Amino acid sequence: MTKVVHLHIGSPKSGTTYVQRILERNRERLAAAGVLVVGERHLDRIHAALGVREDPRWAALGPRQQQAWPALVEEIRAWSGGRAILSYELFSAAGKEQAEKALADLAGLDVHVVVTARDLAAAVPSAWQERLKFGLTKALGPWRPPAEHRERSEWGWRTLDPAGVTARWGATLPPDHVHVVTVPRSRDDRAELWRRFARACGIEDVAVDLDLPRVNESLGVVEAELLRRVNALLRPPLEGDRELALWLRDTLAHGVLAGISREPIGLPPELHREATTRADAAVATLTEAGYDVQGDLDDLRAGPGGGRLLDDVGDDELLASALEAIVRLLLLVREAGTERTRQADRPGGVRGLAGAVTRRTTGAWVRRRDDRLRERIAALEAEVMQARALHLRVAALQDVVTELLLPARQRDQSVTVSALSTYRKESL
């Protein structure tokens, strides 16, 4: 049975995707070391967080999806190793009572909460970008991170400020069971964030594969402004989270625009002052709370920024970026190959094409999952064969017993001999 559980609850835009990709890539290695990576699918963790947070969208899920959190809890309790890690950044949006209820579901286990956090001045543009990928039309400046009391806010101070997140989730835990992992300011050593996270989770001695390809989901300042203007022109059927996730986020933002440039986005002065004030307050609060800190709390303080403001982006730059985006999109379409042609000739073919494009970015995950499913199917087939062989042995033994129980005068000696011969051949 699992003894120690680490809940990595956020914050968003603090290297959580990087950490989760390492956990997923090393699932088998960690399992061999007694560490469970909780949740077979990332979608299960998303649904679990919706349930924990009592999000209205949870009610629209199917019965299986609504049981995602209880299923993860059962998976944790059933694990034969000594440690489990559950990682999903939007658990951070849970309220204090919701967090306490979730922790109560894990009663009897040694539960630790892990919060990754970064420079708040850098976190704000990243949060704004996530809203852009779902149709936001407000520029950075008019858009402000929603306040802490906005319970449904996934991309505001409620989730970005580590002081608030740790206060809600750590209220019933000893300070040494609340771990704050700061994102290093320098990007020279990509593995440093993992090392800090591993120390917080007590798995620093487990050898893992850190050789991950870089995945850039951030937009440069020109591409972000371009996407904002595209959003203003969106119309049905490009609406709703699923449609926008497929087309706007996965296809246009991640698949095309993110690869054009990486010029950082500047933070308007009033937002930078707000980030500075909140960061200083968070450092003071976390220091006083006495939590376990992996890294340096000064990593949370608002950096100088230095990126360009959206207002500084010229129409000529937008045109050049738009033309490059069209070329890249055409290349993605071309690379879809025969599937593109086949799907484009069918009703609803463009949707099939978008699926082909987005599958290119998730192909590695699908292949890994397919390999695991094939291994499981092979194991199940072997179990079925063993069960079938056992059934045959039992049937043969039943024939022998039936013959031996008959009175001697009713017993057919040749049948008895045949039954015994079959039993010896099939079972001994």
Residue range 360-390, pLDDT digits in tens: 544 444 445 555 566 666 667 667 667 666 6
Residue 415, pLDDT > 50, answer yes
Rounded Cα–Cα distance for residues 393 and 237 (Å): 61
Strands (E), 82-204: 83-87, 110-117, 178-182
Rounded Cα–Cα distance for residues 96 and 171 (Å): 8
Residue 199 domain-assigned? yes
CA quadruple 328, 330, 333, 337: dihedral sign: negative
Secondary structure of residue 5 in the 3-state scheme: strand
Residue 238 domain-assigned? no
Radius of gyration from C-alpha coordinates of the chain:
28
Pair (300, 387) in one structural domain: no
Which range marks the domain in which residue 108 is found?
1-214+267-304
Average of per-residue pLDDT across 82-89: 97
Residue 256 domain-assigned? no
Pair (37, 133) in one structural domain: yes
Rounded Cα–Cα distance for residues 186 and 206 (Å): 24
Rounded Cα–Cα distance for residues 25 and 215 (Å): 14
pLDDT value for 365? 43
The share of the chain scoring above pLDDT 90, in percent, equals 67
Q: How high is the mean pLDDT of the chain?
A: 86
Pair (2, 113) in one structural domain: yes
Chosen domain end from 304, 327, 360 = 304
Chosen domain end from 304, 332, 361 = 304
CATH number of the domain within which 289 lies: 3.40.50.300
Residue 311, pLDDT > 50, answer yes
Q: How many domains does the chain have?
A: 2
**pTM, to two decimals:** 0.77
Pair (388, 299) in one structural domain: no
pLDDT value for 366? 47
Residue range 345-368, pLDDT digits in tens: 555 554 555 555 555 544 444 445
Residue 201 domain-assigned? yes
Residue range 264-282, pLDDT digits in tens: 999 999 999 999 999 999 9
Residue 365 domain-assigned? no
pLDDT band at 207 (very low <50, low <70, confident <90, very high): very high
Count other C-beta atoms under 10 Å from residue 157's C-beta: 25
pLDDT value for 187? 79
pLDDT value for 364? 43
Residue range 159-172, pLDDT digits in tens: 999 999 999 999 99
pLDDT value for 360? 54
Chosen domain end from 285, 304, 323 = 304
What are 227's two structure tokens? Answer: 């996407």
What phi and psi values does residue 151 have, to the nearest 5 degrees? -65, -30
pLDDT value for 4? 97
Average of per-residue pLDDT across 141-158: 84
* 267 contacts 124 by C-beta, under 8 angstroms: yes
Rounded Cα–Cα distance for residues 187 and 355 (Å): 33
* 260 contacts 321 by C-beta, under 8 angstroms: yes
